[in-house]
């Protein structure tokens, strides 16, 4: 039974990072109806920038973190301005392809700048695992769990009460109506991309603290897709809950089923689940399906 | 002197049947014949390296035309082409290497097997649209690759399988040139099929589904039938391309069919032009030859900057992404549209209007 609970807890803490990265997808989808397939590269670049600042420039972690967040915000703004804005009102496939192209472009740039070697973060979080009733949790995971919950609360409040948050919801709901109410849709897009990029790099820094930073990290962008789809593309709560569900599912599949089929099921299980979920609920668990008129 | 680029100078059609004709001007037939003859005669004076590259282009074109039927004609996005190529390749490998069947039987069977798998994964398309469908096809990609790499007894697992080149009677297609001819002939057949498809009832139903599927359904088009059908037809050609590729490289293994391959195929039809057969071929050539051209450039530049060579893989990734973005922003119609623009320019030359 301890094994089961260990798997469950591991799943929850891994799921919280999934939720964090998924949040980036959802924010962008809500504002601009686009799925940012370059999200994994945002995660990667955030982690690389932070690790470089900490190791090569010997900055304290907090300073490096803040600089990284500012950098990511500008990266998000730049990407929105250069790549996404010319594609406003373009068909879905163009936007998907643009973000795929962007991911290839950013990955290439990251390889050119940082190479392929794995870079380790110096000790930021205490490494001594905490044991609760036979279940072992590493502090990094606990921290990421706390950060995810905090971000979830912040974003919920932000969307509910802040002026920008309300503007974002208005744009997501109806661009033209928002425009005619005096909301600058362009500004909202730009802010959304900046926020999404910042959220992704927070995820990258946490992941980097767990596994070290290397170019394979960008795969999280693909791993998280089932999470986003499961929760529904336009639901923040869905992203977080989807993150936990997929995290637990992967952990359990890895613990119980992988030894039976010879490994690898951990990565595939979420995709099998989303195909099944999509057949039943085509917009995910919490997503809204629009009414379509001819 | 008559302008050699002029094809038609106005619309003189008096009947709908003329409007529907495959070749709008008789001279087009001759032009296409000349083009085909050029590609048929090319191996006689080109080096075998060039012929090999063109073979890869031809195979990619077949797959790209297949994907364009699904994405360009019917408007359904698929990020699973890589795995479908794999299904085609593996089917042919199992049928020829394990069961000892003839290539000529295995090739259509590979297409049919891929069509069945594609149709199966196309079933969710009835309820899924746009992004959700794209992710469902990505899931198909991941699941199919997982099955291929785990079903050791059938597929040889991660080690892959070895294939041989096809032969007919005593003649073997083992040389680069003969295999090139085989691929070109199949490409011509595929292109003819795709060109004619839009002129049929099925093809027009596909276009209607693409433009507005709700409206199409109201008009009496059976959405389920045509969506699954477009998945099946498209996968058939992708499977054929997969089988041809497998017999060309003479090996199949799971990592040859990664998500990156799917993305490359999507890039081909986007760079070439959605819903255009000519565009599929141009795009396939462009994306296939891009790394080769980059390689030449790098070789040329390493004389001055020796450490550039290490950056090559990263650079080709970078350029690949950049090209996609530039095309999307500046020429969403793709290479096919650029070609039309060039033709129009010369049609009106020397007057610009």
Q: A232 contacts in B (CB within 8 Å)?
A: none
Q: How far is A37 from chain B (nearest CA, A)?
A: 11
Contact A278 B127 (CB under 8 A): yes
pLDDT value of position B238: 95
Cα separations in angstroms, A215 against A7, A69, A123, B341? 27, 20, 21, 41
pLDDT value of position B8: 62
DSSP-derived secondary structure for B179-205: HHHHHHHHHHHHHHHHHHHTTSHHHHH
Q: B313 contacts in A (CB within 8 Å)?
A: 111
DSSP state of B9: S
Neighbours of B112 (CB within 10 A): 17
CB-based contact (8 Å) between B259 and chain A?
A: yes
Contact B274 A93 (CB under 8 A): yes
Checking phi first, is residue B220 left (phi over 0); if not, alpha (psi -120 to 50) or beta?
A: left
Is B316 domain-assigned? no
Q: How far is B91 from chain A (nearest CA, A)?
A: 22
pLDDT value of position B47: 85
Q: What is the pLDDT of residues A95-143, one digit of tens each?
A: 888 888 999 999 889 888 887 778 777 777 777 777 777 777 777 777 7
Q: B332 contacts in A (CB within 8 Å)?
A: 90, 94
| Phi and psi torsions of B296, nearest 5° | -60, -45
Contact B325 A105 (CB under 8 A): yes
pLDDT bin (cut points 50, 70, 90) of residue A227 is confident
pLDDT value at B232 more than 50: yes
Is B76 domain-assigned? yes
Neighbours of B302 (CB within 10 A): 14
Extract the tokens encoding A189: 């897009």
Interface test with A, best of B325, B332, B333, B334 (most A CBs within 10 A): B325
| Phi and psi torsions of A286, nearest 5° | -120, 5
pLDDT bin (cut points 50, 70, 90) of residue A89 is confident
Handedness of CA B290, A94, A19, B140 (dihedral sign): negative
Is B43 domain-assigned? no
Q: A262 contacts in B (CB within 8 Å)?
A: 150
Q: A97 contacts in B (CB within 8 Å)?
A: 266-267, 270, 324, 328
Q: B128 contacts in A (CB within 8 Å)?
A: 278, 282
Q: How far is B222 from chain A (nearest CA, A)?
A: 17
pTM: 0.88
pLDDT value at B167 more than 50: yes
* ipTM entry: 0.84
pLDDT value at B353 more than 80: no
- With b for 16 or more beta-carbon neighbours within 10 A and e for fewer, the B14-52 pattern comes to eeeeeeeeeeeeeeeeeeeeeeeeeeeeebeeeeeeebb
Q: Per-residue pLDDT averaged across B325-351, rounded?
A: 85
Q: Are B72 and B256 in contact (CB under 8 A)?
A: no
In angstroms, the CA B68 to CA A193 distance is: 31
| Phi and psi torsions of A130, nearest 5° | -95, 135
Q: What is the pLDDT of residues A234-263, one digit of tens each?
A: 778 888 888 888 888 888 888 787 777 666
Q: Are B124 and A275 in contact (CB under 8 A)?
A: yes
- With b for 16 or more beta-carbon neighbours within 10 A and e for fewer, the B129-163 pattern comes to bbbbbbbbbbbbbbbbbbbbbbeeeebbbeebbeb
Checking phi first, is residue B340 left (phi over 0); if not, alpha (psi -120 to 50) or beta?
A: alpha
Contact A279 B127 (CB under 8 A): yes
In angstroms, the CA A257 to CA A246 distance is: 15
CA contacts within 13 A on the Cβ side of B305:
8
pLDDT value of position B346: 77
pLDDT bin (cut points 50, 70, 90) of residue B5 is low
Contact A225 B135 (CB under 8 A): yes
pLDDT value at B211 more than 80: yes
Q: Interior CA angle at B140 toward A232 and B163, to 5°? A: 165
Is B150 domain-assigned? yes
* A29 Cβ neighbours under 8 A, 6+ residues apart: A35, A36, A228, A233, A234, B131
- With b for 16 or more beta-carbon neighbours within 10 A and e for fewer, the B227-236 pattern comes to bbbbbbbbbb
Cα separations in angstroms, A232 against A30, A237, B72, B163? 11, 9, 27, 44
Q: Are A129 and A213 in contact (CB under 8 A)?
A: no
Q: A29 contacts in B (CB within 8 Å)?
A: 131
Q: Are A270 and A264 in contact (CB under 8 A)?
A: no
Contact B328 A90 (CB under 8 A): yes
Residue A186 Cα to chain centre, angstroms: 23
Is B42 domain-assigned? no
Q: How far is A41 from chain B (nearest CA, A)?
A: 13
pLDDT value of position B91: 92
pLDDT bin (cut points 50, 70, 90) of residue B262 is very high
pLDDT value at B2 more than 60: no
Provide the domain limits for residue B87.
48-165+174-271
Q: Are B133 and B77 in contact (CB under 8 A)?
A: yes
Q: What is the pLDDT of residues B131-165, one digit of tens each?
A: 788 888 988 998 999 888 888 888 877 778 888 88
pLDDT value of position B229: 93
CB-based contact (8 Å) between B150 and chain A?
A: yes
The number of C-beta contacts closer than 8 angstroms across A and B is 137
Rg of chain A over all Cα atoms, to the nearest angstrom: 19
Domains and CATH numbers, chain A: 2-280 (1.10.3470)
Q: Are B138 and A224 in contact (CB under 8 A)?
A: no
For chain B positions 1-60, those within 8 Å of chain A (CB to CB) are: none
pLDDT value at A146 more than 90: no
DSSP state of B239: H
Is B301 domain-assigned? no
Is B263 domain-assigned? yes
Is B281 domain-assigned? no
Number of independent structural domains in chain B: 1
Q: How far is B131 from chain A (nearest CA, A)?
A: 7
Which of B139, B270, B316 faces A274 most closely, judged by CB atoms? B139
pLDDT bin (cut points 50, 70, 90) of residue A265 is confident
Q: What is the pLDDT of residues A12-31, one digit of tens each?
A: 888 888 888 888 888 888 77
Q: Are A215 and A33 in contact (CB under 8 A)?
A: no
pLDDT value of position B82: 93
pLDDT value of position B1: 46
Helices marked H in A56-162: 61-79, 92-114, 139-161
Dihedral of the alpha carbons of B35, B38, B40, B42, in degrees to the nearest 10: -150
């Amino acid at each position: 039974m301890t094994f089961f609970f260990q798997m469950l807890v591991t799943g929850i803490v891994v799921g919280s990072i999934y939720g964090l990265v998924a949040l980036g997808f959802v924010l962008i989808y809500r504002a601009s109806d686009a799925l940012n397939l370059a999200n994994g590269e945002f995660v990667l670049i955030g982690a690389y920038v932070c690790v470089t600042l900490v190791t090569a420039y010997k900055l304290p972690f907090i300073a490096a973190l803040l600089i990284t967040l500012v950098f990511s915000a500008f990266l998000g703004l730049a990407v929105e301005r250069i790549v996404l804005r010319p594609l406003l009102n373009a068909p879905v496939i163009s936007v998907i392809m643009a973000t795929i192209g962007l991911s290839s472009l950013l990955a290439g740039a990251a390889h050119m700048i940082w190479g392929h070697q794995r870079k380790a973060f110096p000790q930021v979080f205490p490494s001594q695992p905490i044991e609760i009733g036979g279940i072992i949790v590493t502090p990094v995971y606990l921290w990421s769990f706390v950060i995810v919950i905090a971000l979830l609360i912040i974003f919920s409040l932000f969307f509910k009460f802040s002026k920008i948050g309300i503007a974002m919801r208005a744009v997501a709901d109806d661009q033209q109506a928002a425009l005619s109410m005096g909301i600058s849709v362009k500004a909202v897009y730009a802010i959304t991309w900046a926020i999404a990029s910042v959220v992704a790099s927070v995820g990258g820094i946490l992941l980097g603290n767990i596994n070290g930073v290397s170019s394979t990290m960008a795969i999280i962008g693909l791993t998280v897709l089932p999470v986003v789809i499961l929760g529904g593309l336009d639901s923040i709560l869905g992203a977080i809950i989807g993150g936990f569900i997929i995290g637990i599912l992967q952990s359990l599949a890895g613990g119980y089923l992988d030894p039976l089929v010879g490994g690898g099921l951990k990565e595939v299980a979420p995709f099998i689940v989303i195909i099944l979920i999509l057949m039943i609920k085509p917009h995910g668990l919490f997503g809204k399906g629009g009414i379509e008129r001819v | 002197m008559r302008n050699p680029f002029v094809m038609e100078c106005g619309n003189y059609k008096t009947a709908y049947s003329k409007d529907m004709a495959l070749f709008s001007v008789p001279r087009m037939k001759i032009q296409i014949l000349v083009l085909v003859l050029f590609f048929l005669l090319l191996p006689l004076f080109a080096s075998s390296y060039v012929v090999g590259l063109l073979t890869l282009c031809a195979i990619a074109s077949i797959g790209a035309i297949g994907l364009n039927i699904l994405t360009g004609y019917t408007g359904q996005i698929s990020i699973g082409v890589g795995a479908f190529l794999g299904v085609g390749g593996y089917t042919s490998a199992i049928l020829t290497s394990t069961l000892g069947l003839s290539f000529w039987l295995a090739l259509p069977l590979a297409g049919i097997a891929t069509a069945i798998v594609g149709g199966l994964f196309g079933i969710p398309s009835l309820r899924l649209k746009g992004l959700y469908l794209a992710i469902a096809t990505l899931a198909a990609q991941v699941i199919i690759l997982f099955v291929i790499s785990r079903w050791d007894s059938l597929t040889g697992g991660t080690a892959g399988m070895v294939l041989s080149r096809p032969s007919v009677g005593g003649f073997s297609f083992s040389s680069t040139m003969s295999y090139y001819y085989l691929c070109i002939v199949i490409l011509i057949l595929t292109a003819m099929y795709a060109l004619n498809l839009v002129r049929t009832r099925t093809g027009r139903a596909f276009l209607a589904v693409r433009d507005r599927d709700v409206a199409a359904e109201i008009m009496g088009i059976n959405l389920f039938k045509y969506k699954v059908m477009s998945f099946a037809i498209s996968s058939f050609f992708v499977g054929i391309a997969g089988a041809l590729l497998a017999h060309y490289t003479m090996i199949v293994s799971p990592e040859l069919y990664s998500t990156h391959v799917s993305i490359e195929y999507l890039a081909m039809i986007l760079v070439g032009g959605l819903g255009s057969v000519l565009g599929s071929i141009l795009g396939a050539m462009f994306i296939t030859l891009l790394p080769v051209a980059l390689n030449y450039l790098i070789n040329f530049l390493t004389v001055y900057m020796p450490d550039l060579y290490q950056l090559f893989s990263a650079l080709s990734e970078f350029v690949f992404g950049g090209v996609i973005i530039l095309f999307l922003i500046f020429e969403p119609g793709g290479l096919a549209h650029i070609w039309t623009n060039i033709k129009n320019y010369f049609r009106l030359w020397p007057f610009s209007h």
